[in-house]
Every structure is written in C-alpha cells, then in structure tokens.
Amino acid sequence: MAITATINVKDQDLLGSLQTFCTAILTQEDIRAILVPQRQPMKSMVMPTLVTAPEQLDGIDPLSPAFPMNGAKVLAKLTRKPSGGKIAALLRPCEIRAFIELVKLKQARTEDVVLIGIDCLGALRNTDYFRFAGNDAAAATQRFYEGMLAGKETALDGVELASACKSCEHSIPDAADIALGLRGVDIGTGILAQAQSPAGEALLAQLNLPAAEVPKAREDALARLLEARTASRDQMFAETAAATDSVEKLSNYMANCVNCYNCRVACPVCYCKECVFVTDVFNHDPAQYLRWAQRKGAIKMPTDTVFYHLTRLTHMSTACVGCGQCSNACPNDIPVMELFRLVGQRTQEAFAYEAGKSVDESPPMSVFKEDEFQEVVGL
C-alpha cells in the first residue's frame, strides 16, 4: 500500500516546515543533493538552487509566485549523464511534466533522481512578481499562498495569475515520486505527503513521518479547482482560435515579434542544440530583402517571424506542457502561450497523448501504430 503521511507544521510556519522536510531528505545517506526553489539576494527573486549542505537550505521558497524559468531544464542538465549520486528535486507539476518529456526525448535520465512535487498555487509574470514582492519576498510568499488557498484565484493585491496558471488543469503533481498536498488540507497543522512510486515509498519510509489519510475536503477542493481551470482554459482556447484562424489574423497576432527567440530559449522542451533559425539558412543575402521589397512594394522587418513560430509549433506541440515560460520571456507581451497551448492541446488529442503524464508512454510519431489515423490514410 502506498504511504500517506503528514509533515507537521509548527507555529503555522509553512515554509519552515518545508525547509525541515527538505533537510531531512538531504541528510539521507543515498541523497547527495537537493534541487529547490530558493530566494536569492538579488531583486527578491527565487531561482532553482542545488544544495548539498543542509545548513544552506535557509530561504527555500517553493510556494513563491516567482517562476522565472522552468526547472526541468536545470534538472535535465544535472541528470543527462550519471553524476555519481542521487538528487532529490522539488518542482512544480509543469516542471515535472516537462522533465518527463525531456527524459523521453533522451535529454535527461530518471535513474538518479527522486521527483518531489507540490500542489502548484500558480505564479505571476516576472514584471508582476517584482511589483507584488517589493522588498520582502518571504512576506510576499505568505501573502500569496494564504490568498490562493483562501480562494482568491483571480486577483491579489491588484495582480493576476499568469494566463498559463489560470488555465492549467494539471496543478497537482500526479507524476512525482512524492506529492505534497496543500489544497483541501489544514495547512495550519500539516502538509499531506503521498508516495506515488517505489522510489517515493522508500524515501518516505526513511523519514518516519506520522501516518495520515487524504481528507475528503481535498477531493472536493481539487474537483472545484479543476472545473474552474478547465472553464478558463476552454474560454482561452475559443478566444485564441478566433484570433488566429486565418493567415492574416495569425500575422496580426504575431505582429510585434522581433525574432529575439526568447520563447525558444525559455521553453523547457525546445531542446535542439542548434536551431535552424540561427544558422545561415535564415541569414539571407541583402539582395534578397531588396527583391522581396520590390516584389511587394514593402516588407515588414525582421522577416520570417510567423514562419519561425509555425516551425516551433510543428516541432514541439506534441511535447508542450503549458508552463507559460514562452509568454513570460516575450519582451513585447505577445500571447505566445495561448497559441502554443491551443495547438499543443489539439495535436496531443489527435494522438491520444498527454505530454508529461508518464515516462512509459512513447511520444507521438516515435513509434509505428498500424491502426492509427485510418481515416486519413484510407486503409
């Protein structure tokens, strides 16, 4: 039977209890390091941090609404080759799902990692986070998680959750080895800890935490959240589809793109070592631009912006986990996530596939299925 336990919360210090939990994990003999979100001295930002010394865990902040990067990219770097020890990683659900996709794309390994997920309360865009946090990141985190767990899903201190978070129906870490539950749980006294794999069971058993049961209130809270997030997602899909259902509309949608490629760099599952758009293929001769301009009378510069996004959609829509980092990285506030999430959803539904759900499920087009798409091939 899977182990379900509780992490005691003393004096309602939620972050302190999570720090104690991570310290206990790091002191286990077979755990060499732990990757955690930790507050940094610069601009109150929270960044993935690899910790080997328990005394360095002060300042971990996995409940912060800061989400400057998807930690799957960091964990992939740490696990793509044997490191000589096991790493525990405390991640958001979308980070875990992206990591699973990278494993299936042969960019990371699961052999030396224990994935610890926590209920995601959402995140803010970078610019909104700095305004929300001010000069006290710890107080901002407490204000945020208290508001989110009290049901303030739409606005908090004048800022909104990022669009990706408002439309995310995967805020529970189902793919983790150990899942930490906050929603529908009395966090004043404890955090729910559930083992979801043999590796998770082994680690939780070593920690000797008090046994617990999943409260009925959690099931109800998760059901309400899923209903609200699904409705928000479907509305976003309808609005995005209407705004991009022709070449002209798509060109207008992407009109502010300057080919900075920030979205490619920020995307956790865009893994090519060399992108075709930074090679000589798209380094056109000056005379070519003049010929295009002469043929049409005028051309928008830079060129190839829409083609760039279409190429990326073709390349990675089967692996999109909807984390929203593409929009977070866009300097011109193009709603990149909304389009990529829409196309990703449609692509994955066509293949009966869900990105990041299971490491055992092969990505679309990586295996031959004889009975697939018979209505298209006419067999």
Instruction: Render pLDDT for 251-266 as a digit per residue (tens, 0 to 9).
Output: 999 999 999 999 999 9
In a domain, 240, yes or no: no
Is 266 found in the same domain as 176? no
Is 265 found in the same domain as 154? no
- For residue 291, what are the β-bridge partners? none
Domain count, the chain: 2
Q: Which domain holds residue 153?
A: 4-232
Name the residue with tokens 């800022």: 159
Distance CA 326, CA 337 (A): 6
Q: Which of 210, 232, 254 is the last residue of a domain?
A: 232
Is 101 found in the same domain as 41? yes
Whether the predicted pLDDT of 296 surpasses 80:
yes
Whether the predicted pLDDT of 1 surpasses 60:
no
What is the per-residue pLDDT across 143-180, written as a single tens digit (0 to 9) for each?
A: 999 999 988 766 677 889 999 999 999 999 999 999 99
- The whole-chain average pLDDT of the chain stands at 92
Is 304 found in the same domain as 254? yes
Is 259 found in the same domain as 223? no
pLDDT of residue 377: 58
- Overall average pLDDT of the 233-257 stretch: 96
- Overall average pLDDT of the 63-67 stretch: 95
- Overall average pLDDT of the 227-239 stretch: 97
- Overall average pLDDT of the 62-85 stretch: 94
- Overall average pLDDT of the 53-58 stretch: 93
Is 308 found in the same domain as 186? no
Whether the predicted pLDDT of 42 surpasses 80:
no
In a domain, 205, yes or no: yes
- Check residue 159 and report its DSSP letter: B
Is 348 found in the same domain as 203? no
Distance CA 223, CA 225 (A): 5
In a domain, 210, yes or no: yes
How wide is the angle at C-alpha 220 spanned by C-alphas 214 and 225, nearest 5°?
115
Residues near 302 by beta carbon (within 8 Å), at least 6 away in sequence: 258, 259
Residue type, 285: D
In a domain, 238, yes or no: no
Is 171 found in the same domain as 298? no
Is 143 found in the same domain as 35? yes
In a domain, 201, yes or no: yes
pLDDT of residue 273: 81
In a domain, 22, yes or no: yes
For the CA atoms of 90, 49, 54, 204, the dihedral, rounded to the nearest 10 degrees, stands at: 10
Q: Which of 186, 202, 232 is the last residue of a domain?
A: 232
Q: Which of 163, 197, 232 is the last residue of a domain?
A: 232
Is 140 found in the same domain as 210? yes
Is 117 found in the same domain as 23? yes
Sheet holding 46-51, edge to edge: 4-8, 190-195, 178-181, 113-118, 86-91, 31-39, 46-51
Distance CA 257, CA 330 (A): 9
In a domain, 69, yes or no: yes
pLDDT of residue 378: 58
Element (H, E) at 292: helix 286-296
In a domain, 241, yes or no: no
Is 178 found in the same domain as 33? yes
